[in-house]
Structure 1
Amino acid sequence: MNQEKVTELEKKINNDYSNIAGMVVLKEGEIRYENYFNECTAASRIHVYSVTKSIISILIGIAMDKGYIKSINQKVIDFFPDYIVKRSEKTIQNVTLNNLLTMTAPYKYKLFTPYIKYFTSDDWVKFSLDLLGGRGQIGEFRYTPLIGPDILSGILVKATGQSVFEFATENLFSPLGITVESNVNFHSKEEQLAFNKAKNISGWVADKAGVNTGGWGLTLSPTDMAKIGQLYLDGGMWNGKQIVSTRWIDESTKEHNRWEKLNLSYGYLWWVENGNGYAAMGDGGNVIYVNTKKKIVVSIVSLFVPKVKDRIELIKEHIEPMFENCV
């Protein structure tokens, strides 16, 4: 690896991507680059926002592999037999697990997402169920950053009989050597804002009912995220053990729908680049990027700032060319 090119890359990071906290590059499963910025270290844990969605996708796959979930075509409402649906609300009765995974479920809120009511409610799963359905069309792509994915967390709890945290620790984190220490609960808006800026909280946000978030709220390191990327690149195998089935990986990382407005393909809570790979992406510039052709994994953890420069552009134009010919 050319040290001059590394110096150029790090200069570009400092100038144009200055909120990056850490980055790891794997080629053929080997670490080719690892560095930290903004006073972060390998021990730092950062809120990775919507990368959490892709972790939930993996957990849904593992739950299916183990027989806890029979089919992605199961009706969402069937997982919540105690939830009372109003007779007039027919749409919610036809929403499937597949719709949640592909962001093709309709919701009652339109222009203004009720974030304050969401954050201040005690049960985020029920809050999301109450907003599911409405007059929208099932099957149309509608990306829901926060309100909606928690239903998937609720489904995992109902299907497995474990908390999402327990199920993830037993079946994904521990086998990969990833440490997520505990649930994180907020008692005030200030605590939540502090969490979003923190560099040293290892955990997964949960609501007052104890259910972990589905669309945000997990803290990871770049090494943790690189392991997730390598797991998928290796077809779900880790140290000789099948963690998640190859079938699920193949299905979840191919296009099932498309965000036409942004010309982006979507799988099962993974962004898809047809033919070349896929990525988990979180607000502020958090990324797990997998190039299946070049056998490259890039993980980037970032401190939150709004409207950051595109990390995929950084990876494709400045990182991949440096490492694609490494042997």
Structure 2
Amino acid sequence: MKSSYLPTTEWQAVDPATAVIDAKKLAEVELLIKSDYGNINGIVVVRNGYLAYEKYFNGYGPDDTHHVASVTKSVLSALVGIAIEAGYINDVDQKVLDFFPEYIPIDAGSQKREITIRHLLTMTAPYPFEDWQEPLDRMCMQPDWVKYTLGMLGQKGQIGAFKYSTAGAHLLSAIITRSTGKSAREFANERLFKPIGMQEIPDQQMQAFAFDDLFGSKVRGWVKDPNGNSTGGWGLTLHPRDMARFGLLYLNHGMWGTETIISKAWIEESTEMNPYHYGYLWWLREEDGIFAYSAIGDGGNVICCIPEKDLVIAIASQFMMNPGDRWTLIKEQIISAVEGE
């Protein structure tokens, strides 16, 4: 059954059988979460646009927001695509330094000058740290995060090699602000969240820039740096249903009803498989004939989109080190429940 409606206001829930999902298999998910995935606070499964499964744990409910960590990056990717389509940014090959003329040192190396938005989106810009060993705490102690990150950009390594950088994603947020005149939060509310029925993110004042304010228990709304830039690589709080709405928008090729929110071409570019299995701030996976693209954040926050099955799985989690692999849960318990269709 293909959806003929969109959940701009309220989701239309159906029983799993109506969504062509094995209800018995899906019922095992709750038991498995309680036994093996104790830090999952909420899970939403959308099939053919309908809400087929929704459960909450650890005292949480549908009205609670969760810090989704690096899922924020995939939202930033969407905003870049929207800004390009609207003409605020030329294209993905526009140079990063074009947006920060006052930060460019006279002796900026040629490599720094060649780095583009595409390199930030695909994590193929060089930085002076080893892959997966980014000293993010150093950036967070600076009075000017953008200046600090631009200073690191292009140092060591070569353009084109994959190196995961949360600071690089923060530059994209600053580029959104430089090009549109609005923070990423404001731009997202206006051009992405509100049009598809997601709750708008309020402006929360930062009381401090300590760990809890930036990453922990005091995270509210959308974290911002000392100069007011929304964090590009983390810091966004969302409801699980709104996480699923965002995934559904991508499954619908950027269309929400008759309105184009994100161009189909952008979504195709963002999720096209490549040797790094990483698109425009989306993780890509192809396994046993199933292609999936996912927004993934620390602790096990996930928006997993599986086009072939018209399936979106949104999982909101409490941060913990080494959480259970969400893909195992998704593949073995949820995808397998629709295998027999």
Normalising to structure 2: TM-score of the pair?
0.87
Answer whether contact 2:30 2:55 (CA < 8 A) is retained.
no
2:34 corresponds to which residue? 14
CA RMSD of aligned residues (A): 1.9
**Aligned-partner Cα distance in 1 for 2:95–2:316:** 35
**Match of 1:173, as an amino acid?**
F
3-state DSSP of counterpart to 1:11: helix
1:300 corresponds to which residue? 315
**Aligned-partner Cα distance in 1 for 2:308–2:61:** 30
Are residues 1:268 and 2:283 paired?
Answer: no
Shift of 1:158: 1.0
**Aligned-partner Cα distance in 1 for 2:116–2:152:** 15
Shift of 1:204: 0.4
Change (3 A) 1:6 1:110: closer
1:161 corresponds to which residue? 181
Answer whether contact 1:46 1:301 (CA < 8 A) is retained.
yes
3-state DSSP of counterpart to 1:62: helix
1:182 corresponds to which residue? 203
2:232 to 214, 226, 229: 214
**Match of 1:230, as an amino acid?**
L
Shift of 1:8: 2.1
1:100 corresponds to which residue? 120
Are residues 1:280 and 2:301 paired?
Answer: no
Q: Which digits, 9 at most, give the CA deviation of each residue in 1:95-139, with x for residues without a partner?
A: 111100000000123486333321122222222111111121000
1:261 corresponds to which residue? none
Shift of 1:86: 4.0
Greater CA drift, 54-63 or 182-191: 182-191
**Aligned-partner Cα distance in 2 for 1:108–1:167:** 31
Q: Name structure 1 gaps, 5 residues minimum.
A: 259-264
Greater CA drift, 248-257 or 55-64: 248-257
What is the aligned-residue identity percentage?
A: 44
1:139 corresponds to which residue? 160
Answer whether contact 2:170 2:231 (CA < 8 A) is retained.
yes
2:43 to 23, 27, 33: 23
Q: Which runs of 4+ in 1 moved over 6 A?
A: none
Change (3 A) 1:107 1:314: same
Answer whether contact 1:271 1:280 (CA < 8 A) is retained.
yes
**Aligned-partner Cα distance in 1 for 2:308–2:104:** 48
Shift of 1:4: 4.2
Q: Name structure 2 gaps, 5 residues minimum.
A: 1-15, 17-21
1:313 corresponds to which residue? 328
**Match of 1:272, as an amino acid?**
L
Shift of 1:83: 1.2
